[in-house]
Structure 1
Amino acid sequence: MKRKIHVVPHSHWDREWYFTTSRSKVYLMKDLGDVLDTLESDPEFKYFMVDAQGSLLDDYIKWRPQDKERITKLVKMGKLVIGPWYTQTDQLVISGESIVRNMYYGMKRCESFGKYMNVGYVPDSFGQSGNMPQIYREFGIEDTLFWRGVSDDMVEHTDFNWKGDDGSVVFTTQIPFGYYIGGKIPEDPKENDEFWEKECLEKAGGRSATRHIYFPNGFDQAPIRTNLPQLIKERNEKDPENEYVISCIEDYIKDVKSEKPELEEVQGELVIAKHMRIHKSIFSSRSDLKVMNTQIQNYVTNVMEPLLTISYNLGNEYPHEAVAEIWKLLFENSAHDSIGSCISDTANEDVYVRYKQARDIAINLVELHSRLIATNVKNSADMTFTLINTLPQKREDTVIVKTYVPGGKFAIVDEKGNNVDYTIIQSRDLTDYVLSQIITIDPSRKFYIPDHVFEVTMAIKANDVPALGYVQYSVDTEKDSHKEMEEKSVLENEYYTIEVEKDGSLTIVDKENNVTYKNQGILVENGDDGDSFNYSPPRKDLEVFSNESESSVKISGSDVYSQAVIHFDMVVPENLEERAEGKVSVTMPVDMTVALRKGSKVIDFNVKVDNKGLSHRLCVVFDSQIVSAFNYADQQFGLIKRPNYYEKEMKLYMESMNNRSEKKTGIQELANWANDQSTWQEPPISIEPTQSYVSLTDGKTGVAVIPQGVREYEVLDDSKIRLTLFRTYGFMGKENLIYRPGRASGERIIETPAAQLLKQMEFNFGFTTYAGDINDADIDTLAKQYDTNMEVYTYAEFLNGRLIFSQREIEGKNDIVHSLFETEGNLVVSAIKKAEEDDGYIIRLYNGKDHRNLDDKIKFNFDVKEAYYTNLREEKTEAIKVENNTISVKELSHCKFVTIWVK
């Protein structure tokens, strides 16, 4: 039977890379315009795929609105293939909610033109998340096609089933040699024959499960090959034993499935770099931008959207379009090269601007709606603090807030009249500035004006803050509930005692479980001979440790909050050349603040670094004092268990170079491997991403680190967690790295001096200990709480002016305490927001435990008319029984998520 070659015309369109988005948009006008002309004029040119990115249509139509109808007509005819993504998103760094919203907005936008390709097409992202099959299925997608992450050691054929960590299965085709393999068809007869035989039949089709071969005709920013129909016609005439057709992905998949092949199965996360590069340390490239991504993603989904939902429940408008603009700015930065930061310095400047725009819109939406909530409460106090809890569980926490307070003593009083303890950590007198900003719409109205106003950072011990709601505290200037900071010798709260040793390391005593952890929080600096795509160790490295550096410490605290500020002068090599010589000459000042909040099981870390060195890396190490062959982290919508060392994969590539590795692979072995160009594209290193935590446990005790910036880790010696804080490099791409042999990824001539990060930087993370296994610890819930700060809105009439924009006085009508709903089980909340198309609420929950089934109950504090399970399109799929305004959430297995609509 003839083999059928599906030649799929496309262009893989990087919106930015070694060029800026502005440049790609200008060329998009030309290239997509040519596509429209060709598809309209040539009936033999049946399809062209626009890289599955709906955002490209927005870019094009913004400058060429006159072509909207042309695009719509071609999409409806099926000739112009678009969607389902908004941008070609990364799958490992980006959050699950970002991936879901990317596809939601992509499908929605593409539907406005007619239809979208119902395939999870991912040509170039650096690995596939283990929960993508479930996400695809929940969008109604049964098929996916991608390039990176699978090797022939895992599966024989390039057509197979991919089973997600939750058990969802999608049909998959891997593009074995990349999306560009058929992009350059030679027209010289001899070269043409060799091309089709070698590139198409042998390489692309060599491992196909059926007689059908997927053969993409395109490459990066590729213009349409207008004579492709003629080339296909000529090929059919020269090779009558096979059939060549201009096709599309959906037709290819339909034809493969029609033959009902016996398909192999792969499972879970796909990050093996045998045949293609995964760049498995890109998680820390441009650490400053990774920090922004982490902070903004957490803020949007954990704080902003739930707070807007509370505000909407209280009668305020839900700003759908503003929220969509935030998400679309983040989607532009979520594209695999953009979030990877493997782009030029100029392009990274654009990434920063988009983060700043998204952050500014989100912060100001939260500020406005916090104000609408706070000022509409029935309370006659002159000054109030409104604590807004955006998680669906009651919270007791010590909240750190930067705000304005009156000078002198005062008490914070809760809704029951009880004093609330607080501690002022820092303060400065801003009386003249603040009081000069007052604007009174009604000058005749009298209100409280303090004699002095201070800007402070303060810790407030909040108790029983309602689930997904607020409580309003009052300020009483006749009382005092302040707890003074005093000099201390150790840090202590209910759970921990922390001693700072003479060398600056920490001894942490877990008081609950009577376990002492020594030598914690050690900073380790070493060289980085890599580039924007990969960390790679230098062939001659030198490590510098904080506990071998000069240090000093100042400890202070109260019953509410205590901190140790440890200063290190780490003397490091200036550059790789000096490092190779074993010299150090540059002082890199580091301030590490370790803090304990009353009632908190997480130890807070803040590290400020004034970076002075080039091409290096700074990490922090925690020793679990146990031995475990596996670590636990969270991925998109669930937990993932990873080996600390990829023994099978390491053995395979070492065998391929006839140099077997023993238990650990050292730098010399990797250097030998790097010189063998016939082996894997990258070694199977164990530098990993996480969404919010990484943990080691032996089932009896355990530790976890909760990063709030760079989310990259590695487990050393089966016992130590090494968290990357930052790494720096000077080129987009470099050749012949230990961790990536051969050609440069990206452009080797493009220097990236901004990526040396010669500036002050700040990193936050938490550390916690526990007894039992990972499920007993509830680290998934604890990490969600740690990443979700309670909002505190301060209001007094003397602040109502230029400082916060003047607003008219509102007569409060709402209660001093309010809660929208509360969950009772251990499912983790992923999203709480208003539904996109109606007046309902959307709640998304997932099981974050390790193979332990969970259910839940949600108790609503309003009359629930109806409730449904939905898919990720927010389309109702199954009714949920409501009893006494409470619903029972069905049992979810490992890594399962569920979306609920209520009204």
Structure 2
Amino acid sequence: MKRVYIVPHSHWDREWYMPFEQHHMRLIELIDNLIKIFKTDPNYKYFHLDGQTIILDDYLKVRPENKAIIQDLINQGKLQIGPFYILQDAFLTSSESNARDMLIGHRESKRWGKNMVHVGYFPDTFGNMGQTPQLLKQVGLHTAMFGRGVKPTGFSNASSPDDKFSSKFSEMNWIGPDKSSVLGILFANWYDNGKEIPVDSDKAKVFWDKKLSDTEKYAATDDLLFLNGSDHEPVQMNLSQAIKTANTLYPDVEFIHANYDMYIKQLKKDLPAKLDEVHGELTSQETNGWTTLANTASNRIYIKQWNTKVSKQLENVAEPLATIASQKTNFEYPHDQLRYAWKWLMQNHPHDSICACSVDDVADEMMTRFKKANQVGKFVADSALGKLSEQLDTNKITHESGEIPFTVFNTGTSTKTGVVNIEIPIEKVKFNPNKDDSSKISQRLKAKKTPTYIIHDSSDRTVSMKILNTRVKFNFDLPKDQFRRAFIEKVINVQMLVKEMAPISWQTFKLMSVGNREEKETQKMIHDNVLENKYLTVKIEKNGTLSITDKQTNHIYRNQLRYEDTGDLGNEYVYRAPENTEPIYSSDFPNEISVEENNDFIGKVKIKTNMKVPISMDKRLRVEQEEHVDYRLRKAQRDIKLVDFPIETELTLDKESKRLSIHTKFNNQSKDHRIRVLFSSDLQTTNHYADSIFEVVKRPNKVSNRWQNPENPQHTHSFVNVHDSNRGITVSNFGLNEYEVTEKGEKIAITLLRSIGEMGDWGYFPTPGAQCLGKQEVDFGVEFSDSSETSKLQTLHDAFAAQVPFTVLTNTWHTGSIEPNDKFLKITSNKSKITALKVQEDGNDTVVRQYNLTSHVAQNKISLMNYVPYSSNILEKASNTETEELTLQPYEIHTTVWRKKSNE
């Protein structure tokens, strides 16, 4: 007997084609109706709350008086909640964001009781990350349900064992790169295949005849799943009657008002012994390439930049500093404040939000959330630094009167080399704003002659530095036990080179006055438009491109850094170039080259290029948009009117760096177009590598013979790498999540800007804000490797390190319990990447999470003084297995909980 499991739900995008509060008010109506129907209809048994606990928070903000009712419905199992906090996009959110969504979602679900839904639920995620099976199994989930990524062929078609991205059934085994396996269930007929079920017998017969046939085509068993709902779908108030009608019409079919756990329990009993396997990330690789939605990685670049900024602030600055302070001082780890910040950040992570495929109002509200999360992260970091400042034993460093100590922290989890800009107060004058004349104080400080300064490290070695400027400014302190204190201070801004600073470490320096000594002439890094250090020679060609010699291999990489402009008649989801048009390249326009900085430790060159690009697409595009013409069928062309597109490129090469840093500014006054930067690899490869979620993923340059889209856009977070057995190139970025590698691997393209004027999808929704007019700034870089794995891994770690700024603490001379130079963690290998250093979510132990960067077994020993490490999982539940000498399996994600030794 066939069983039809009908699961009522409403896929709840918190914001999309309307702003958040517009959807929010409809959510109130939805849950109000649920409360009503559960009270009045005893046959209405379950409703699935879309896998995200934030729905409960959103409802109770408006209806707090109904909390007890909601709790009772959850206790009865009628409201099906969890396991995630929100339904986030996998590829545009960091590894830790994905982990925290699970961690906070499980924590929130547990707070409501024991009836969490045991399904990894990804109904509308724009592709599924390859490490999903491993992550799910770590949190005790063994089934994943998803709507995208796999091509179902139906049971009448044979699927090849070599096809890793198709399945003849909607049920399959999903294998992660580490060989973890979960049951995968594809919504082959989408998550609305059971919406609006008719009650009328005649209509119900027509409805069910078609629906049953469509679903049986892909089902591996006689257990058929129907989802009663869709996007923001109101509750079907007469569902019980509709199910009764169906059971009367089909005596050989049992129609069941069900939940997912019921369905999966029976399904697993009935599944055939062998199912097709799909492997790794699922991004619709076996489709025509037009509906992968990967170009959401490049719209509204500012959203992606802010996401990277705030993610790094929380993961790599606030949490590490708070952890160090809590373990080395009496600082109380701010669990609640950090969780509050993470929630603000994650509210920007649903696919319609972080993918920026929404109306302008949504993007505006996202910026407020980013800033809130960032402000909390900065507060936590500053509070932790205050405690560390008190306990840093600066007196261990020899010093004289008038010298000023300061400490540089590398809070990132990769070794970092680079130039840091530091502001150091050299004199402070307190004043009362209601009594004192602040202008006189400022004028006196300005008039006072500033001596020449140098910097020494703790061993009294001179450090490469440059004085940028001095200035007088207002500032204030907020003591914990007193009223605020205002002061005028004179500060000196210096630039200093820091070399190979270990992960999670700090070094203390001192600023020393040397009177009025003149600076000595030093060896310069730039000569005749050539930047050079011991690793690279960067020559700026006449057309503005670069020829870079990698001194490790003596290979010259030519035709680097060329900007490409093309028209875009797509939308926020999909890029599409107009037919029969050619790209416009920066190398075809004149340029100006100027030296910005040139000393013995840093060289900076500016290249100005004024491209001419069409002002927009022609008028046909607006007509086609308003008539909702499919983007693949549009005939609009680029306008013949040209406007200036000025680009300023700053190339920065540090004395000790193997990475060329690139900062690009442009003033966009053109609409409907895309700007990319191109790098030539001088390699012929079939695969490349990119930074994905807990994985350095290997991707084919050419996806499938079925692929029709002339573009092959892909996602990354920190880098894309192309290499062969002899050498390689790594292009890194900050918040530039879209790239493409050509079929033979000879070119890497990073998208810097995509200007589009409509949301897309099911109607016409104008998005003038997505044109991103005005001034923009982006950061990226390039580095090269030789044939060794060590060299290649260093380029990856340098890409990670480039995203995390140094943190600087100015101090005074005093004794304390913390060494002025130290490492919080001692790490023996660069074959893994640490993604989290924090304190246990519901405890006081230290948590370290890392993953294997390689496809082979990697040894890594991490030491934390006076602590014992125990193996754990994403939920931070420690086992009794000590893991000091850790062997990471290929692609393994490993969490360690560090407990203080009992004698401490």
TM tier, smaller: 0.7 to 0.9
Distance 1:440 1:775 in 2: 47
Distance 1:440 1:846 in 2: 41
Q: Is the 8 A contact 2:578 2:638 kept in 1?
A: no
**More moved, 366-375 vs 256-265:** 366-375
Deviation at 1:776, TM superposition (A): 4.9
Q: Show CA shifts across 1:53-106 (max 9, x none).
A: 100101111222222121112112111100011111111111121011011111
Question: Please, which of 668, 673, 678 is the counterpart of residue 616 of structure 1?
Answer: 673
- Aligned counterpart, 2:750: 723
Q: Is the 8 A contact 2:220 2:271 kept in 1?
A: no
**Structure 1 residues 791, 481: closer, same or farther in 2, change over 3 A?**
farther
Q: Is the 8 A contact 2:410 2:416 kept in 1?
A: no
**Structure 1 residues 408, 726: closer, same or farther in 2, change over 3 A?**
farther
> Is residue 2:569 matched to residue 1:505?
no
Question: Please, which of 252, 259, 271 is the counterpart of residue 248 of structure 1?
Answer: 259
Distance 2:235 2:132 in 1: 31
- Aligned counterpart, 1:661: none
Q: Is the 8 A contact 1:423 1:482 kept in 2?
A: no
**Structure 1 residues 811, 40: closer, same or farther in 2, change over 3 A?**
farther
> Is residue 2:176 matched to residue 1:164?
yes
Deviation at 1:382, TM superposition (A): 4.9
Q: Is the 8 A contact 2:838 2:847 kept in 1?
A: yes
The amino acid that maps onto 2:734 is: Q
The amino acid that maps onto 2:34 is: V
**More moved, 813-822 vs 375-384:** 375-384
- Aligned counterpart, 2:436: none
What are the within-5 Å matches in structure 2 for residues 285-304 of structure 1?
Answer: 285-304=299-318
- Aligned counterpart, 2:877: 875
Distance 1:302 1:542 in 2: 42
**Structure 1 residues 9, 813: closer, same or farther in 2, change over 3 A?**
same
Percentage of pairs with the same residue? 29
Question: Please, which of 565, 573, 589 is the counterpart of residue 549 of structure 1?
Answer: 589
Q: Show CA shifts across 1:394-428 (max 9, x none).
A: x462232252465441011211122211134x54x
Distance 1:484 1:896 in 2: 51
Q: Is the 8 A contact 2:451 2:514 kept in 1?
A: no
Q: Give the SS at the match of 2:510.
A: strand
Q: Is the 8 A contact 2:835 2:850 kept in 1?
A: yes
Q: Is the 8 A contact 1:423 1:483 kept in 2?
A: no
The amino acid that maps onto 1:223 is: P
Deviation at 1:375, TM superposition (A): 4.2
What are the within-5 Å matches in structure 2 for residues 187-206 of structure 1?
Answer: 187-199=199-211, 201-206=212-217
The amino acid that maps onto 1:611 is: N
Distance 2:57 2:411 in 1: 33
Q: Is the 8 A contact 1:61 1:68 kept in 2?
A: yes
- Aligned counterpart, 2:609: 568
> Is residue 2:218 matched to residue 1:213?
no
**More moved, 288-297 vs 162-171:** 288-297
> Is residue 2:122 matched to residue 1:122?
yes
Q: Is the 8 A contact 2:545 2:587 kept in 1?
A: yes
> Is residue 2:414 matched to residue 1:414?
no
The amino acid that maps onto 2:690 is: A
Distance 1:260 1:90 in 2: 30
> Is residue 2:892 matched to residue 1:888?
no
Q: Is the 8 A contact 2:413 2:835 kept in 1?
A: no
- Aligned counterpart, 1:736: none
**More moved, 395-404 vs 606-615:** 395-404
Aligned residues: 826
What are the within-5 Å matches in structure 2 for residues 173-322 of structure 1?
Answer: 173-199=185-211, 201-261=212-272, 262-272=274-284, 274=287, 277-315=291-329, 316-322=331-337
Q: Give the SS at the match of 1:547.
A: helix
- Aligned counterpart, 2:819: 815
**Structure 1 residues 484, 442: closer, same or farther in 2, change over 3 A?**
farther
Deviation at 1:747, TM superposition (A): 2.9
Distance 1:37 1:277 in 2: 39
**More moved, 508-517 vs 474-483:** 474-483
Distance 1:220 1:701 in 2: 49
Unaligned runs of 5+ in 1: 651-669, 671-682, 734-744, 798-809, 882-886
- TM-score, normalised to structure 1's length? 0.87
Q: Show CA shifts across 1:182-240 (max 9, x none).
A: 112234433321111112x1112321110001100001111211211111011101110
**Structure 1 residues 624, 441: closer, same or farther in 2, change over 3 A?**
closer
Distance 2:520 2:294 in 1: 47
What are the within-5 Å matches in structure 2 for residues 49-68 of structure 1?
Answer: 49-68=48-67
Unaligned runs of 5+ in 2: 154-165, 396-401, 427-449, 620-635, 900-904
Q: Is the 8 A contact 2:757 2:768 kept in 1?
A: yes
- Aligned counterpart, 2:796: 780
**Structure 1 residues 442, 482: closer, same or farther in 2, change over 3 A?**
farther
- Aligned counterpart, 1:767: 782
Q: Show CA shifts across 1:814-848 (max 9, x none).
A: 33223322110221111111111111100011111
Distance 2:277 2:674 in 1: 38
Deviation at 1:366, TM superposition (A): 1.9
Deviation at 1:704, TM superposition (A): 0.8
Q: Is the 8 A contact 1:500 1:506 kept in 2?
A: yes
Q: Is the 8 A contact 2:614 2:640 kept in 1?
A: yes
Distance 1:53 1:581 in 2: 43
Distance 1:723 1:403 in 2: 34
Q: Is the 8 A contact 1:313 1:820 kept in 2?
A: no
Q: Is the 8 A contact 2:8 2:46 kept in 1?
A: yes
The amino acid that maps onto 1:333 is: N
RMSD of the TM alignment (CA)?
A: 2.6
Q: Is the 8 A contact 1:204 1:213 kept in 2?
A: yes
Q: Is the 8 A contact 1:52 1:84 kept in 2?
A: yes
Question: Please, which of 853, 859, 881 is the counterpart of residue 857 of structure 2?
Answer: 853
Distance 2:725 2:321 in 1: 37
Distance 2:664 2:488 in 1: 38
**Structure 1 residues 696, 5: closer, same or farther in 2, change over 3 A?**
same
**Structure 1 residues 116, 775: closer, same or farther in 2, change over 3 A?**
farther
Distance 2:642 2:691 in 1: 40
The amino acid that maps onto 2:751 is: T
Q: Is the 8 A contact 1:136 1:142 kept in 2?
A: yes
What are the within-5 Å matches in structure 2 for residues 480-559 of structure 1?
Answer: 488-489=527-528, 490-555=530-595, 556-559=597-600
What are the within-5 Å matches in structure 2 for residues 561-710 of structure 1?
Answer: 561-577=602-618, 580=637, 583=640, 585-650=642-707, 683=709, 685-710=711-736
Deviation at 1:142, TM superposition (A): 0.5
Q: Give the SS at the match of 1:300.
A: helix
Q: Show CA shifts across 1:551-588 (max 9, x none).
A: 10112311211111111111111011299367352001
Distance 2:20 2:687 in 1: 41
Deviation at 1:30, TM superposition (A): 1.6
Distance 1:368 1:714 in 2: 42
Q: Is the 8 A contact 1:29 1:60 kept in 2?
A: yes
**Structure 1 residues 637, 567: closer, same or farther in 2, change over 3 A?**
same
Distance 1:324 1:484 in 2: 51
Q: Show CA shifts across 1:166-185 (max 9, x none).
A: 11100111111211121122
The amino acid that maps onto 1:50 is: L
> Is residue 2:404 matched to residue 1:399?
no
Distance 2:91 2:224 in 1: 29
Deviation at 1:43, TM superposition (A): 2.0
Distance 1:720 1:148 in 2: 29
- TM-score, normalised to structure 2's length? 0.87
- Aligned counterpart, 1:144: 144
> Is residue 2:476 matched to residue 1:476?
no
The amino acid that maps onto 1:814 is: I
Distance 2:555 2:604 in 1: 21
Q: Is the 8 A contact 1:587 1:612 kept in 2?
A: yes
Q: Is the 8 A contact 2:411 2:505 kept in 1?
A: yes
Deviation at 1:437, TM superposition (A): 5.8
